[in-house]
Structure 1
Amino acid sequence: MRGVITGGNVKVLGRAVHSLSRIGDELYLEPTDCGLSLRSVNSSRSAFASFLFAPLFFQLYELGEPQPFRCKVLMKSFLGVFRSLPSLEKSVGKCLILLKPSANRLVLQLHCKYGVTKTHNLVFQECERLQAVFDTQHCASSLCAPARVLAEAVVHFPQTLAEVTLGVGPGGKISLQNYVEDEMELKKTMVTELWLSEDEFQRVAVTPGSSITFCLKEFRGLLTFAEASNLPLTIHYDVPGRPVIFTLEDSVLEVHLVLATLLDPKSDLQPAMANGSVSHLPLPSDDPPDDLESYMVAMETEEEPEVPPSPTFPLHTPCPVQSDPEEEEEEEEGAVPGTPPHKKFRSLFFGSVLTPGEPSLAPTQEVLAEDSDNDS
């Protein structure tokens, strides 16, 4: 694959990488006839983002051989190429992206002023297609607003805030409120609530009284990109527990951000989701297992359908990358709160609910120590 990006599009690519860096630690690349796709997913599989750059986005776009080809690189390495956005706009005139499968190298070459050329050789790893399972057509509510409106609304919330609740109030007004998990903490916590009138939005088609709670960290990253690109942001959502989808569309760009939403304890949907039986999402089998590990095995053995990539992302996903537990603990201590992995957030990829304190043993797990005769 060979692509050449010129002018202001180099900074657009840089903004996209910065937005994806808020999601996961790995960047998935897939060149197709529809363009170059950049995707990322977080470790808990509750946040997924996809940027599809059409061939018209490039000055030159050649697929090459072999096809199809998919790979992933470390996000930190790719982000280092586009670390300084102001510098990209002032000094970089052209960016060359060269994917060399035979050499296992991804070459990023920045052509700067005064004849300076910066070449970055990144090592990649071949991988399966990364796809989230969602469909905006099944969402009961949708909102469309200029990114500036939503960016000015969330600026009132602190950077350390983990989740925010979006709801519909009387008269069709849209509210944004910081989420407090424990009702006993309401007396000790400052609650910020903003109301936006229907006139602030370009389109409002929502269910009266509906509300969802999602993570703010990933949402801020998309808002920054959307505001800088001057694109309207569309929000598709259904009931609590089902994913909320944020979309940006342009003639040369298509963006999707999928976030898990917090389950409503009073909702009737919770028992069904706990059993992994979500009817409106395509599943690999008619009777999926309840536990996460065996579900992943079922997805691995399922044959991938031969269909072209689409905005609905109907295909399966690879297994999550195993990481060192000690490194995860260090990251959790110093990181800004993002998607909490221990709450009842539904996995977008496996259609199940991970509930703390209720572990289940997968059939494929080996019992290392059996009960003795004296144990009851």
Structure 2
Amino acid sequence: MKCVIAGGNVKVLGQAVHSLSRIGDELYLEPTESGLSLRTVNSSRSAFASFLFAPLFFQLYEPGPTPDTEHFRCKVHMKSFLGVFRSLPSLEKLVGKCLILLKPRASRLVLQLHCKYGVTKTHNLAFQECEQLQAVFDTQSCSSCLCAPARVLAEAVVHFPLTLAEVTLGTGPGGKIGLRNYVEDEAEPSKTMVTELWLAEDEFQSVVVSPGSRITFCLKEFRGLLTFAEASNLPITIHFDEPGRPVVFTLDDTVLEVHLVLATLSDLERDSQPAPTNGVSHLPAPSDDFADDLESYMVALETSTYEGDPEEPPSPTFPLHNPQTVQGNPEEEEEEEDEEETVPGTPPHKKFCSLFFGSVLTPGGPSLAPTQEVLAEDSDGEN
């Protein structure tokens, strides 16, 4: 792969990397005919982000393999890649062009920053080959959809403290959309600060929501997307459904397509009732065989499944797949039942359903790993 980014697009790429760094510790790169894809996922599998830069975004774009060959995918450490674009002001003032070279034989990802006064900064990053990483979700099945300028949402969340972990988005009377900090049930009212604000329907570009709908998601990752969207002056579209099913934030432009998928807090009243899955694992009881299948689950994490011709580039949407059922060992389940019922640092009733990842495995390799229900840890506070 070889691509050249010139002018202000270098800063846009840097802003995208900063947004992705708020989510995962590894950056997945995949050059295709549709453009260069940058993806990441957090350690608890509850947040997934994807940036797809179209060929028009680049001054020169050569994906490398021909359409008759398989696409090459790799992953690098996020901190290493972020170090190249750490200073956004200097990218805008000093850097005139960025060259990205992917050398599979040397296992090196080369980034060259051509700065003013003839200065060239070259970074050689080691990478690992991997399978495609893709969250499985279908935005068309969501019953609620909101579209608003990034500035409106950014001005709304600025009222919440930086240390706030989760925020609740819901509908109110008169078609208003409300944002409120999430408060645990056992919290003492006298020692709890509640911040709540309402946005009128005319603040949004489009509003299609179910009456009484409400979801709770992590705020840290959402802030990162807001910062990028506000700097790029792009509206944000929010697709969501019932509590426990993922919320999808999208940005669309002629040269850029962004997806941020976040797990939402399950509704305790619905936990006892089985619900169809759509990109997440819904199980009424805690999964006791997660530890047994950890290795196979990690294999599925770094892989993906998509329908159609395998030679075609992956679809930027999130197709719907039905996860397989889990078969566990009864003896091992009894031994690990006490340990799996409570996750340290996470209240037992706070259940964030994990995003489900499909897999494409080589012939003769392990079978498709089952989906698991995990209790995602709360997002860390802002650094």
Tell me the TM-score normalised to structure 1 length.
0.80
Shift in CA distance, 32/197, structure 1 to aligned 2, threshold 3 Å: same
- Specify the alignment match of 2:313 in structure 1: 308
* Aligned position for 2:32: 32
Aligned to 2:79, the other structure's residue is in SS state helix
Q: Distance in 2 between matches of 1:258 and 1:59?
A: 30
Q: Distance in 1 between matches of 2:228 and 2:33?
A: 25
- Provide the rounded CA distance (Å) in 2 between the counterparts of 1:135 and 1:311: 11
Shift of residue 141 of structure 1? 0.1
Change beyond 3 A, Cα 1:46–1:279: closer
Secondary structure of 1:251's counterpart equals coil
* 8 Å Cα contact 1:263/1:270 also seen in 2: no
CA drift of 1:294 comes to: 3.8
Q: Does 1:344 align with 2:351?
A: yes
3-state SS of the aligned residue for 1:171? Answer: helix
Partner SS, residue 272 of structure 1: coil
Question: Aligned Cα RMSD in Å?
Answer: 2.6
Following TM superposition, by how much is the alpha carbon of 1:354 offset from its aligned partner in structure 2, in angstroms?
2.7
Paired residue secondary structure (1:27):
strand
> 1:189-208 counterparts in 2 under 5 A?
189-208=192-211
2: distance between equivalents of 1:246 and 1:270?
28
Aligned to 1:353: 373
Number of the residue aligned with 1:157: 160
- Aligned AA for 1:105? R
Give 2:55's aligned residue. Answer: 55
- SS for the counterpart of 1:15 is helix
Q: Choose from 101, 115, 120 the match for 2:118.
A: 115
Tell me how far apart the structure 2 counterparts of residues 112 and 99 of structure 1 sit (CA, whole Å). 21
Answer whether contact 1:132 1:315 (CA < 8 A) is retained: no
Alignment of 1:293-332 (within 5 A): 294=293, 297=296, 300=300, 306=310, 308-314=313-319
Task: Name the residue aligned to 1:319.
Answer: none
Contact 2:278 2:320 in 1 (8 A): no
Q: 1:193 to 1:33 in 2, by over 3 A?
A: same
The whole-number CA distance in structure 2 between the counterparts of 1:77 and 1:59 is 24
Q: Does 1:214 align with 2:217?
A: yes
Work out the CA distance in 2 between the residues paired with 1:63 and 1:152: 39
Please state how far the C-alpha of 1:310 moved relative to its aligned partner.
1.1
Counterpart residue number, 2:274: 272
Query: CA distance change for structure 1 residues 352 and 186 in 2, over 3 Å: closer, same or farther?
Result: farther
Amino acid corresponding to residue 154 of structure 1 in structure 2: V
Cα distance in 1, alignment partners of residues 261 and 242 from structure 2:
14
1:144 equivalent to 2:162? Answer no
Over the matched positions of the two proteins, sequence identity in percent amounts to 75
The gaps in structure 1 that reach 5 residues or longer are: 284-288, 317-338, 357-376
Stretch of structure 1 that moved more, 301-310 or 89-98: 301-310
Aligned to 1:231: 234
CA pair 279-355 structure 1, distance change in 2 beyond 3 A: closer
Contact 1:290-1:352 at 8 Å conserved across structures: no
- Match of 1:368? none
1:259 and 2:266 aligned: no
Match of 1:78 in 2: 81
1:314 positional shift? 3.8
- Runs of 5+ consecutive residues of structure 2 not aligned to the other structure: 282-286, 322-344, 358-370, 377-383
Name the structure 2 match of 1:134: 137
Q: Is it true that 1:12 corresponds to 2:5 in the alignment?
A: no
